[in-house]
Chain A
Amino acid sequence: MSLSDEETRQLDAILGHYPDKRAAAATAMRLVQARRRWLSDEAVADLGEYLDMTVAELDGIATFGNMVFRKPVGRHVVLVCDSFACWSLGYAELRSAVEAELGVGMGQTTADGRFTLLPIVCLGACDRGPAMMVDDELHGPVAPDDVAGILGGYA
């Protein structure tokens, strides 16, 4: 799948925010991922063509960033904070409850494609630990019993 007209329009619009095309690569990847949920090899190749960069150059950035998805993810991404603050406030119980509710472990996607569960470094919500995020929404403090209700809100 090559870049759609809409994607190309959005990419054209961000180029003006950076002094050269290559400097827009990180934002370009984020933008395409936001539309497609993950970056396939084809998407990276298409972006490379658009930005005059090689696939290796783009993957050098993509594989470094912990929020670039080079494999398919579910409709919702669940991030459970594993910082030492959340760890001391009940991370283990929260993680177990999330894994039990979803029936998958860290790094896995539910069979229905609804959720992907991933670890995340400190969410900067230590005063709300143990904390987790679902897509762009922060939840905390989350008791194990709250997990089913929270996840149930995401179709």
Chain B
Amino acid sequence: MTSRPGLPGYPAEDRPFTRAMRADGRPATIDDYLATGGYDGLRRAVESLQPKEVAALVTESGLRGRGGAGYSTGRKWSTMPLGPDAPHPKYIVCNADEMEPGSFKDRFLMERNPHLLLEGMLLAGFATESDEGYIFLRQQYDGSVAALEQAIAEARERGYLGASLLGSGFTFDIELHVSLGRYICGEASAMLNALESQRPNPRARPPHMTGAGLFSRPTVVNNVESFMAVPAIVQHGPDWWKGLSVTDEGGTKVFGVAGRVAKPGCVELPMGVPIRELVEVHAGGMLPGYALRAVSPGGASTSFIPADKIDVPLGFATMSEVESRLGTGTLVLLDDQTCPVGMLLNMMQFFAQESCGWCTPCREGLPWTAALLEDIEEGRGEPGDLEVLAQGVWFMDSDKCFCDLAPGAMQPLESALRLFPDDFARHIEEGGCHYRRRGSDAPAMRGTTW
């Protein structure tokens, strides 16, 4: 096992996401934030860097999107039109929707360190010569809304936000937008429709959002944690950032563990720590009487990783070696007393419910998949069902769907069929579920509106 120590074993400076956080759990104030180097990155940028240089620093750092997709943040910024001929206003949009089941890092980050998000968006705005930022939050994140409202007020008052901030001539403001709710709003182009008060179906691409995004203007959309990585990169430089990780992907990351462990929660660790270290050291290991069966590494649309492969480093490249992906990096554990078919059924009922209904594979395929899984879990499964489920994996691949919702849903399904064949077979042979925690228990609300 790699033995690079995690919290609290390495210097605070090497914990860019959490170093300003207060021990009492309340949101860091602007004074807490300034005391740990807060807004130094912004000051450096507006006083001594050109916009293009800021984007270049971010590209050079190797920072990849922390919302799940993993696209180069700097490269995305570099496609925004710059200069006197560029259309204005240009927008920076923060995806703070966090509705992917099993994702719980953005809530932690925004509630505890709101100024870091503002500074990251301000740097994105500076690098792309943008005019205004929106933070798109889900409605249940009241704590995040309160923390961010306070931070925005403080930043305005101290001159870090607003007209000609820090006396630089650069003007940028940030608005909070609270969603009416729905998982698909977390898809970047659907989010722009939601922000415009259009019905939030995803948009066709091209055009890319950096060409025609919010209100048809050039727009950058990034995840909360992606923005939050930027201030320290600009402050300390890409080489420093690259030196933080165990693997060569750079930086730290906020990981999380949920499930039958002693200490569930979020922790900032170097990129590349193994899953085993996260679970056994930082989360305190499995509770007595429970053994680890598999890990959902980064949200419901990532593939399960079996317990015998948890020495894999948590990184973008390494996770593909175990046929999964990093996703959001918040682990949900499947223990040995919980039915994998039941867990998968819960996931598929979610995806079926949240399909926007736009394209056929998703609208028809997901309820069909959920119904088959329910049959298997409830003892009505038939031998041919597993082939039909496997066909669904093919039918709902990304080349046949309008957006990534259904292809994402197929990742846990594909991996479960691969990793738990005996469980599926036993359900069908024995006519039901043999686990302690079983069944769908899903609310009978699907198809209804309130």
Contact = CB atoms under 8 A, between A and B. Distances in A.
Interface of A: 17, 19, 22-27, 29-30, 60-71, 73, 79-80, 82-85, 87-89, 91-92, 95, 105-107, 118-129, 133, 136-138
A89 B100 CA distance: 17
Interface string B435-448: 00101011111001
Given A23-B196, A107-B448, A84 B256 contact: no
Given A84-B347, A138-B143, A65 B180 contact: yes
Given A68-B180, A85-B101, A87-B346, A121 B197 contact: no
A133 B138 CA distance: 14
Contacts of A106: 443-445
B450 A129 contact: no
Given A79-B140, A84-B343, A136-B142, A121 B444 contact: no
Interface string B170-196: 000001011111110000000000111
Nearest to B263: A127
Interface stretch (B38-46, B230-238, B315-323, B332-340): B332-340
Contacts of A69: 450
Contacts of A87: 342-343, 346, 441
A23 B439 CA distance: 42
Given A61-B197, A119-B445, A127-B257, A84 B107 contact: no
Closest 5 CB pairs of A and B: A65-B180, A126-B258, A119-B443, A67-B181, A25-B197
B200 interface: yes
A23 B193 CA distance: 9
* Chain B interface size range: 35 or more
A64 B183 contact: no
A127 B258 contact: yes
17 contacts: A26-B180, A29-B180, A64-B199, A65-B180, A80-B443, A83-B102, A83-B300, A83-B350, A88-B335, A91-B441, A118-B445, A124-B98, A126-B102, A127-B256, A129-B258, A133-B140, A137-B142
B448 A19 contact: no
A120 B140 contact: yes
A120 B350 CA distance: 10
A88 B197 contact: no
A22 to B, nearest CB: 6
Q: Which of A60, A62, A65, A68 has the most CB of B within 10 A?
A: A65
B346 A30 contact: no
B102 A84 contact: yes
A82 B99 contact: no
A73 B450 CA distance: 9
Nearest to B138: A124
Nearest to B258: A126
A88 B442 contact: no
Contacts of A65: 179-182
B215 A19 contact: yes
B258 A26 contact: no
Contact of A126 (B99, B104, B448, B449): B104
Contacts of B183: 121
Contact of B182 (A64, A85, A92, A137): A64
B334 to A, nearest CB: 7
B157 to A, nearest CB: 19
Nearest to A117: B443
B180 to A, nearest CB: 3
A86 to B, nearest CB: 9
B104 to A, nearest CB: 5
A88 to B, nearest CB: 5
Contacts of B140: 79, 120, 123-124, 133, 138
A27 B194 CA distance: 10
B103 interface: yes
Contacts of B330: 126
A84 B346 contact: yes
Contact of B354 (A62, A68, A121): A121
B164 interface: no
B215 A88 contact: no
Nearest to A135: B142
Nearest to A96: B441
A92 B345 CA distance: 14
B354 A127 contact: no
Interface string B338-381: 10001100110010011010000000000000000000000000
Contacts of B103: 122, 124, 126
A83 B198 CA distance: 27
A30 B100 CA distance: 22
Contact of B178 (A19, A30, A133): A30
Contacts of B182: 64-66
B175 A23 contact: no
